[in-house]
Amino acid sequence: MLDLTQNQFVKHVVMHPFEGFEDLRWKKSGSMVIATVIVFLLFFQQLAYNRLYGFQYYVSYDKVFNIIPYIFRSFGLFLLYVVCNWAMCTLFDGEGSLKNIYIVTAYSLIPYIAGSLIGTFLSHILIIDEQIFIETVEIIGLAWTVVLFISAMKAVHQFSFGKTLALIALTLVAMLACVFLLVLLLTLFQQVLIFIFTIYTELSYRLRV
Amino acid sequence: MSGFKRLLSACGALLIMTSLAGSVHATESYDPYSYDRWGDAVSSQVGYSAEKFVDGKLINGLYDKISGMSGFDYDDESWKQLLQLKEPADLFISYDDKMYIVDKGNNRIVVTDLEFNLVNYLDQFNYNGETLKLNAPQGVFVDQYTDYVYICDTENSRLIKCDYDGNVDMVFEKPKSEIYSQELTFKPEKVVVDKAGNVYLVVGSITKGAVMYDKTGEFLGFFGANRVEATAEIVMNAFWNTIATEAQRDRMAKSTAVGFDNFDIDDSGFIYTVTESSDVQTDTVKKVNPKGTNILHTIIDDETVFGDHNPAYWSIYTKQSAIVDIDIGPNGEMNLLDFAHGRVFQYDKLANLMFVLGGSGNQLGTFLSAVAIESHDDMIYVLDSRKNGITLFKRTDFGEIVTNATDLYNKGYYDESYEPWQRVIKYDGNYRRAYIGIGNALLGQEKYKEAMKYFKVAISRKRYNRAFEGYRDQLMQKYLTPVVLIIVILVVVIKVLGILEKKGIVTFPWTRRRGA
């Protein structure tokens, strides 16, 4: 039963929101490579959604382009979530390893990426009056991802539904704390660097005189 | 020797400079700019070029008039002052091409023709045998239907209505009405008169709008007040007002709108008002119908900024625009005068920015204290109360083409405006309205694909959408039948092959029989 290849498992998981991830866990399946490809697709989706959308729907400010926000919104947020979720689940006796969390989180993002990319494509062949079709596709994709996501978290940690929701909420709090600490760290390092640089300048002036 | 050398090089430099000046004579003393779709300033071409500056000395006949007066003494300062303009406050060009200059500091009205030859001089008025004199007048208006001249005699708190020779017909004074609070002063600053002879006055102490009289001099009420800007504080007050008792409401601070500062009337009787205050954004420019409602709102939204956007980075000092005067041109263009930067903003009648001209400074074409603007045909006249004179701007070739194209476009002749807009782009590739104009012309000719290109350059999403819709329809009409046909044929072929395969008539190398 369920002798699926890695690629077939991706389809199985996406099409069976309620037992797909349980099957994945039971079979100890799931591929890091596929998960990483999905994260790259997420990055591309973020770019496409902001830069390649149909002109009649959205005009991007083309005078400035900065790729850092896109990197943060895809790779950054994904990795941050995975790490924070792992950190939280160890406190809650969750069963998922870092690798498992990485894989199921990526798999559960597929409908969102697909819906949004299809929406981006449709925005080039539909006019504003037909916007409802695009919105429908994108909303379905997002809702599907939410269902998959909760199911994935539930399966990977073997939690009850309520505990899963609590874990997700706590993970979000942890992510905020992480970002705060990162900003703090960066600022402090900046201060230290400026301090060292000031000493260097001071010394070099004195040596020269 | 070295002195001679220096002289020689100085002569050479002078020669080069004059030849340079000759070749770049069209260059203005300011950077012409315009605003793009994002509200960023982009460089542009000059639509009007400063021609000359006229002060009192250049008014032909003023010297003769003053020196011919009894008791004239050239060495006396007070007489000498009369040879110049002193703090002029307003400018008006009447329908018969006479220019009325309100010389506030000299308490007189100087009337010239458009070549600046003195044709009339009003400083004394005959009122039933009594002689009236002006005291710091600030506004003038000539009624084109009755020929009467209306003068705001500001410091004397009255409005004088007189004929061309200075015989006073009527004097308007502070209205004795309950609506007009009697403790307020009455200093009329600007005046306009409509077709029916109703007189509208901007009075400094009044924020409820213009003071309005009928032609018999009876006070009618206030006209066209500004709205109160919906700041957070005012929204809060409105909320408390709904739950407060009568007594509490009396003690609360009242929110008052800022009164407008200047106005103009166009030939169809619409009054345009401008508000100078730099910390108020609502109703800085209004077009008021005879009922008193602002009809500019039908074409623009509340977010539209008149004058400089924030921040106006083409200037070293970023200031909010302070619009002090408005003039309506022959095609309904609105010329707004910005006191803060000494700039003139010309909008078409649909409130699209056409040109920006002027700047602050002492050179020709820039201003120290611009207070009044008038336009006539292709000329714009700006009065400066510190330079004590009038600067003349003449429309350039570029300005001519743009005006022509805009006029055609606004009247709906999109096809006819195609050619002029193309020429505009040749002059100034940043001119966004040209792309919209060309796009609309192409849209009318059903050249949707090219229209899409132009609308994309103009960054006009809604218009692009219309062009795209047409383009898609064209594509569908062309390709829908073949595409559907091909799909149907493919489906039929695949089905047939499937049936044949099931029956074992054909086998494909990539399918393996079940159980085989």
Give the pLDDT band (50/70/90) at residue B297.
confident
How far off is chain B from A62, nearest CA to CA, in Å?
A: 10
Put simply, the answer to whether A56 touches B461 (Cβ < 8 Å) is yes
Put simply, the answer to whether A55 touches B462 (Cβ < 8 Å) is no
**Whole-angstrom Cα distance, residue B381 to residue B390?**
6
What would the pLDDT profile of B76-130 be if each residue is shown by its tens digit?
888 888 999 999 999 999 999 999 999 999 999 999 999 999 999 999 999 988 9
Mean pLDDT of chain B: 87
**Whole-angstrom Cα distance, residue B390 to residue B393?**
10
User: B 458-497 residues with CB below 8 A of A?
Assistant: 459, 461-462, 464-465, 468-469, 472
CATH 3.40.50.720 fits B417-502, yes or no: no
B37 pLDDT higher than 50: yes
pLDDT score at A139: 97
**Domain residue ranges of chain B, discontinuous segments joined by +:** 43-229+255-396, 230-254, 417-502
B64 pLDDT higher than 70: yes
B479 pLDDT higher than 50: yes
B439 pLDDT higher than 50: yes
Q: Nearest chain B Cα to A125, which residue?
A: B472
**Whole-angstrom Cα distance, residue B451 to residue B437?**
10
Q: Nearest chain A Cα to B469, which residue?
A: A127
pLDDT score at A92: 87
- Residue A83: alpha-carbon gap to chain centroid: 11
How far off is chain B from A130, nearest CA to CA, in Å?
A: 11
Q: Nearest chain B Cα to A129, which residue?
A: B465
pLDDT score at A129: 93
Mutation target vs A (from B461, B462, B473, B475; most A CBs, 10 A cutoff): B461
- Residue B513: alpha-carbon gap to chain centroid: 82
**Whole-angstrom Cα distance, residue B125 to residue B475?**
76
pLDDT score at B20: 44
What would the pLDDT profile of B180-226 be if each residue is shown by its tens digit?
888 889 999 999 999 999 999 999 888 888 999 998 989 999 998 88
Mutation target vs B (from A56, A61, A129; most B CBs, 10 A cutoff): A56
- For residues B32 and B428, the answer to whether their CB atoms sit within 8 Å is no
- Report yes or no: B38 at the A interface, CB cutoff 8 Å: yes
pLDDT score at A41: 96
Q: A63: which chain B residues are within 8 Å (Cβ-Cβ)?
A: 38, 40
**Whole-angstrom Cα distance, residue B135 to residue B121?**
15
Put simply, the answer to whether A55 touches B38 (Cβ < 8 Å) is no
**Whole-angstrom Cα distance, residue B274 to residue B505?**
88
Mutation target vs B (from A123, A125, A126, A127; most B CBs, 10 A cutoff): A127
Give the pLDDT band (50/70/90) at residue B319.
confident
Q: Which of A61, A63, A127 sits opposite B465 (nearest CB)?
A: A127
Put simply, the answer to whether A63 touches B38 (Cβ < 8 Å) is yes
Q: Nearest chain B Cα to A55, which residue?
A: B461
Give the pLDDT band (50/70/90) at residue A204.
very high
pLDDT score at B314: 53
- For residues A125 and A109, the answer to whether their CB atoms sit within 8 Å is no
Superfamily holding B43-229+255-396: TolB, C-terminal domain (2.120.10.30)
Q: Which of B461, B468, B469 sits opposite A59 (nearest CB)?
A: B461
What would the pLDDT profile of A126-145 be if each residue is shown by its tens digit?
999 999 999 999 999 999 99
User: By a Cβ cutoff of 8 Å, what residues of chain A touch chain B?
Assistant: 55-57, 59, 61, 63, 125, 127-128
pLDDT score at B23: 38
Dihedral (CA of B507, B510, B511, B516) sign: positive
**Whole-angstrom Cα distance, residue B89 to residue B137?**
8
B264 pLDDT higher than 80: yes
Give the pLDDT band (50/70/90) at residue B168.
very high
One fold for both B43-229+255-396 and B417-502?
Answer: no
**Whole-angstrom Cα distance, residue B385 to residue B488?**
80
Query: Is the bond preceding residue B311 a cis peptide, omega within 30 degrees?
Result: yes
B27 pLDDT higher than 80: no
pLDDT score at B102: 95
How many CB pairs below 8 A link A and B? 22
What would the pLDDT profile of B340-384 be if each residue is shown by its tens digit?
889 999 999 888 999 999 988 889 999 999 999 999 989 999 999
- For chain A, give the percent of residues with pLDDT over 90: 82
**Whole-angstrom Cα distance, residue B225 to residue B259?**
7
Categorise residue A88: left if φ over 0, alpha if ψ from -120 to 50, beta otherwise. alpha
Q: B462: which chain A residues are within 8 Å (Cβ-Cβ)?
A: 56, 128
Put simply, the answer to whether A127 touches B459 (Cβ < 8 Å) is no
B516 pLDDT higher than 50: no
ipTM above 0.95, yes or no: no
